[in-house]
Amino acid sequence: MSRADIPTFTLNDGNHLPVIGFGTYQLNGREGIDSMMAAISRGYRLLDSAFNYENEGAVGQAVRQSEVPRDQLFVASKLPGRHHKYDQAVVTIEESLYRTGLDYLDLYLIHWPNPKQGLFVEAWQALIDAQKRGLVKSIGVSNFLPEHIDTLIKETGVAPAVNQVELSPYFAQDKQRAFDAKHNIVTEAWSPLGRASALLEDQHLQEIAARYDKSIVQIILRWHFQLGVLAIPKSSNPERQKQNLELFDFALSDDEMAAIKRLDRPDGRINDQDPAEYEEF
Ligand SMILES: NC(=O)c1ccc[n+]([C@@H]2O[C@H](COP(=O)([O-])OP(=O)(O)OC[C@H]3O[C@@H](n4cnc5c(N)ncnc54)[C@H](OP(=O)(O)O)[C@@H]3O)[C@@H](O)[C@H]2O)c1
């Protein structure tokens, strides 16, 4: 497929994002840059990073070295929990930008709500102000539950453009997706492949994959697409990177979507990280 064939989502702030992106967790240094450049040359246009991945430098380097113009690429990063206080959040966003060496970031998210710490509204205000200053084009959150997003909207009047949450066939997030959709927030899926866990050997998915002569991974990523979810699979392998974009030449039937829905389970998270309890700094 040609690169231009990746459709886009329109965000609630009018900006656009490709419907599938590239996860960069654990892609660091020279090797990481090579993986990201391979991914860009295979057609990915959105790179998902975070301050805590310690690879914003590699992401920026890949973007600068790539032949694809900057305005056709989308770079996302995330604010860590230890810098939610307003002044620290402002400096951290600036630092993220300097680390990439780019003029702006396309998307900046609060990485985790850390509700016990209770500072995410301050952090959100810093993101709102960074967007006004042009440092970041769009702003959003990650791992936010409905009650956290309700608080942001109540306190600031600004809804996130994106909510990036753990989401795979084993943890389908029906309620969170419905809430996000109601607020015109794009739901993004982290660990869409369950980080290559047992999900990739699921018998039901295998049966569907055989019908289309596709891999289980392609079925999973097509399922995300048909749900209207932006998945960000990570692969360090150029052949797998390419396969993971080959989703637009087939469609799952309603029955197949329903069969995949039946795989959803309450304990389907890979590491049991419930954002109501779990905090990350
Ligand atoms: N917001 C958050 O809190 C949060 C948390 C976790 C992750 N994330 C983001 O989400 C991204 C994706 O999640 P993830 O990296 O945890 O896991 P993932 O994308 O679900 O899975 C990555 C694993 O799948 C393997 N893989 C990829 N394509 C494959 C294929 N076609 N066939 C077989 N195996 C394949 C990869 O191996 P190879 O590399 O060897 O191909 C790697 O081991 C991250 O990179 C990060 O950007 C965000």
pLDDT along the chain (281 residues), means of 10: 73 98 98 98 98 98 97 98 98 98 98 98 98 98 98 98 98 98 98 96 98 98 98 98 97 98 97 96 97
Which amino acid is present at 43? G
Question: Which numbered atom of ligand 1 lies nearest the CA of 234?
Answer: 19
CA of 133 to the centre of ligand 1 (A): 32
State if residue 242 touches ligand 1 by the CB under 6 angstroms criterion: no
Q: What is the pLDDT of residue 1?
A: 38
Ligand 1 atom 5: residue of nearest CA: 190
Instruction: Kindly report the pTM of this predicted structure.
Output: 0.98
State if residue 244 touches ligand 1 by the CB under 6 angstroms criterion: yes
State if residue 43 touches ligand 1 by the CB under 6 angstroms criterion: no
CA of 158 to the centre of ligand 1 (A): 30
Ligand 1 atom 8: residue of nearest CA: 190
Q: What is the pLDDT of residue 5?
A: 76
Out of 235, 239, 273, mutate this one to test ligand 1's pocket (max ligand atoms within 8 Å of CB): namely 235
Ligand 1 atom 43: residue of nearest CA: 196
Pairing type for strands 8-10 and 16-18 reads: antiparallel
For residues 29 and 233, give the distance between their C-alpha atoms in angstroms, rounded to a whole number: 19
Question: Which numbered atom of ligand 1 lies nearest the CA of 273?
Answer: 3
Choice among 25, 44, 53, 98 that is catalytic: 53
Is 79 in contact with 110 (CB distance < 8 Å)?
yes
For residues 154 and 148, give the distance between their C-alpha atoms in angstroms, rounded to a whole number: 10
Angle 232-13-183 (CA atoms, 0-180°, nearest 5)? Answer: 75
Ligand 1 atom 48: residue of nearest CA: 190
CA of 231 to the centre of ligand 1 (A): 10
For residues 63 and 100, give the distance between their C-alpha atoms in angstroms, rounded to a whole number: 9
Q: What is the pLDDT of residue 20?
A: 98
Is residue 53 annotated as a catalytic residue, yes or no?
yes
CA of 196 to the centre of ligand 1 (A): 7
State if residue 128 touches ligand 1 by the CB under 6 angstroms criterion: no
Question: Which numbered atom of ligand 1 lies nearest the CA of 50?
Answer: 47
H-type helices in the chain, by residue range? 29-42, 56-65, 86-100, 120-132, 146-156, 174-182, 203-212, 216-227, 238-243, 254-261
DSSP string, 111-157: S---TTT--HHHHHHHHHHHHHTTSEEEEEEES--HHHHHHHHHHHS
Phi first, then psi, for residue 47 (nearest 5°) are -110, 125
